[in-house]
Structure 1
Amino acid sequence: MNPDISEIDGACHCGAVRFRVRLSDGLNTARRCNCSFCRMRGAVAVSAPLDGLSILQGGDDLVLYQFGTRQAEHNFCRHCGIYTHHRRRSNPNQLGVNIACLEGLSPFDFTELPVMEGVRHPKDGGGGIAGTLRYVPSA
């Protein structure tokens, strides 16, 4: 795994949605969030600039989900239900991209990840790092 990768292809589970993404700082921005939605979704996301995502196929197969303040825009494949990316509420000029959708990568490639404080969202006076998630593979 190259943590400094700058551009990578991705797809949803069924392959209907395919994209290329230019990352903000490689895989160094990988993180989880503890907000109600991210807790249920369980994805690891990396950062990309708003103009860093190019949909190569299946743009019409993406559906949008919004909740709460309706500022974040979460995109899913309408066929397989996989979350591919979202426009962040904390920084609307930035996308979070699902690591599991990126070619050759898995959330389990990361032994330690920061968990961002989403319960007390930065836009609501909270923010920062809530903790650390660790993955320790069996021998």
Structure 2
Amino acid sequence: MADASNDDRPVYQAACHCGTVQFSVRLTDGVRTARRCNCSLCRRRGAVAVSANLDDISVTQGQEALTLYQFHTREAKHYFCSKCGIYTFHQRRSAPDQYGVNVACIEGMSPFDFPEVIVSEGRIHPKDRAGGGSRVAGWLRYESNPE
């Protein structure tokens, strides 16, 4: 993790569903980085992710239970708990110096805390697209039932 004495960003505690994998994380820009993606994996996984620098995640328990999944170019590294199957975080292909962190794993947070989340265009990855760059595919909206 980064030098805590010069960093005023909060440290969040996070865990998979069964609690086998536990980690602490500092987010790059709080929850303002929340987004989803419509690539083949993210469509199926359905998680809202926020950003953290590589050195801002520390697995405090269950490192041995993390399972790595890679596909296509095998550049991105997607980590899951081998016991409960929950996606915890992934090292991004588009920004290899960052992790995308599953909001649902962060204590006190839920994907339903966001009334609107940007969905990034991932069906054609920015690194595979002429000119590169991120594109917005759409927005995912959540409105709670007032009852």
TM over 0.5: yes
Total equivalences in the alignment: 135
| Greater Rg by CA | 2
- Which residue of structure 2 aligns with residue 131 of structure 1? 138
- Listed as ranges, the gaps of 5+ residues in structure 2 are 1-8
- Which residue of structure 1 aligns with residue 6 of structure 2? none
User: Which 4+ runs in 1 deviate beyond 2 A?
Assistant: none
Please tell me whether residue 51 in structure 1 is matched to residue 58 in structure 2: no
Cα deviation for residue 49 of structure 1 reads 0.4
Amino acid of the residue matched to residue 131 of structure 1? G
- Which residue of structure 2 aligns with residue 30 of structure 1? 34
Amino acid of the residue matched to residue 139 of structure 2? T
**TM-score, normalisation: structure 2:** 0.89
Distance 2:33 2:51 in 1: 6
- Which residue of structure 2 aligns with residue 116 of structure 1? 120
Cα deviation for residue 112 of structure 1 reads 0.2
CA RMSD across the alignment: 0.9
**TM-score, normalisation: structure 1:** 0.94
- Contact 1:31–1:115 (CA under 8 A) maintained in structure 2: yes
- Listed as ranges, the gaps of 5+ residues in structure 1 are none
Distance 1:6 1:87 in 2: 21
